Structure 1
Amino acid sequence: MEGVGDDAASAVAPLAKWRNDFARAFQYYLDRSTPHPVQRWLGTLLVAAIYVLRVFYVQGFYVVSYGLGIYILNLLIGFLSPKVDPELDVLEGASLPTKGSDEFRPFIRRLPEFKFWYAITKAFCIAFFMTFFSLFDVPVFWPILLCYWIVLFVLTMKRQIMHMIKYKYIPFSIGKQRYSGKRSSASSSGVSRD
């Protein structure tokens, strides 16, 4: 009896070791990609282009594409939303400054950029993998799905933009803000007054 258990344990051990090594290597490369957002997004754009070409070539899998679009829209809303929603935090005081005299609080996203990128890339990879199984190729009239997704996108983004206007926040910051103070005429002319 002991020999049977030992054989099963010895068969599982290499598989668990391989899985652990693969997970460690994957996490290593994922961590190395963190400071390179442009390269990461270009890679995701490449994966998305491969997926679009696959769907175009096969002329199917429109339901998979629709589900992918809905998922990406959901991720986009999380990316554009503040971590603490001021609408829900009204009783305790707004988390975002609404007046010039309010204390500065930086915009913190509900879904950080790295997690947003990772989720989108993973979604495109899973959707691409699904295109190899005819089970997911449900016959539908794709223009209706496209129109419905566009209407959903417009209504959702309208609601999000109205929320941004109401609570006066912008989810994007471009570069580091620079302040330039006025120089006095004496220090700019290089002449010292003694």
Structure 2
Amino acid sequence: MDEPEPETPFAAVSAQTTKYGRIFQSYLDKSTPFIGYRWAGTATLFCFFALRIFLAQGWYIVVYSLGIYLLNLFLAFISPKFDPSLEQDEGMEEGASSLPTKQDQEFRPFVRRLPEFKFWYAATRAIAIAFLCSWFAVFDLPVFWPVLVVYWLILVALTMRRQIQHMIKYRYVPFTVGKQRYSKS
């Protein structure tokens, strides 16, 4: 007779993590339509993190790392999924994925490289990790923080300038102000 093999401790741990992973994913799925509330929660978490850094007067390298990561996420959020400059460089013909550049071309909606939900989730997770790191002395490296601030501001200015030039050159706007409304006349 075949006896069932005894359950290993690893299998029990794996089953529990899978169970909690599904529960966590169900909460994430339920939060998807509540954009304002999600971002308000992230802003609140960021305020707690900023307050922690301000009161503790340290962990500036953690703040700098978080700033660069959030800048990277934001650039992915405002960039098109299919970069028209890469398609033009590769010599591709007018494909279904390219943005229209002329008046007579068909309208194609702006598809982001990083969707809003993934942007929110990654930003929230990064802020939570940075907040957690601010409680451990090993991450409190001695740095002259004004240099980091100036360097980060220069980095933001240069990358945003390049991104805005790209938007102007390929004529796309990653934001919509609202749903277009027509009059009833």
Q: Cα RMSD between the aligned structures?
A: 1.6
Match of 1:103 in 2: 106
From 14, 38, 48, the counterpart of 1:50? 48
Q: 2:34 aligns with which of 17, 33, 36?
A: 36
1:173 and 2:171 matched: no
* Structure 1 segment 113-132 matched on structure 2, within 5 A: 113-132=116-135
More off after superposition, 104-113 vs 171-180: 171-180
Structure 1's unaligned 5+ residue stretches are 184-194
Structure 2 distance, partners of 1:13, 1:87, is 49
Q: Would you say 1:158 and 2:161 are equivalent positions?
A: yes
Gaps of 5+ in 2: none
Give the CA deviation at 1:177: 1.4
State the TM-score, normalizing by the size of structure 1.
0.86
Pairwise CA distance, 1:55: 1.0
Moved over 6 A (4+): none
**Bigger Cα Rg:** 1
CA displacement at 1:17 relative to structure 2: 2.7
| C-alpha separation in 2, matches of 1:93 and 1:71 | 34
**How many positions carry a matched residue from both structures?**
176
Q: 1:70 aligns with which of 68, 71, 74?
A: 68
| 1:144 corresponds to 2:173 | no
Q: Once the 2 structures are TM-superposed, how far is the Cα of residue 19 of structure 1 from its aligned partner?
A: 1.1
Residue in 1 that maps onto 2:92:
92
Q: Deviations over 1:108-145 (max 9, x none)?
A: 00000000000000000111111121111100000000
Residues 57-81 of structure 1, C-alpha deviation per residue, up to 9 Å, x if partnerless?
Answer: 2111000100000000001110010
Q: 1:18 Cα shift?
A: 2.1
Structure with greater contact order relative to length (CA < 8 Å, sep ≥ 6): 2
**Matched residue type, 2:144:** F
Q: Give the TM-score normalised by structure 2.
A: 0.90
- The one-letter code of the counterpart of 1:107 is F
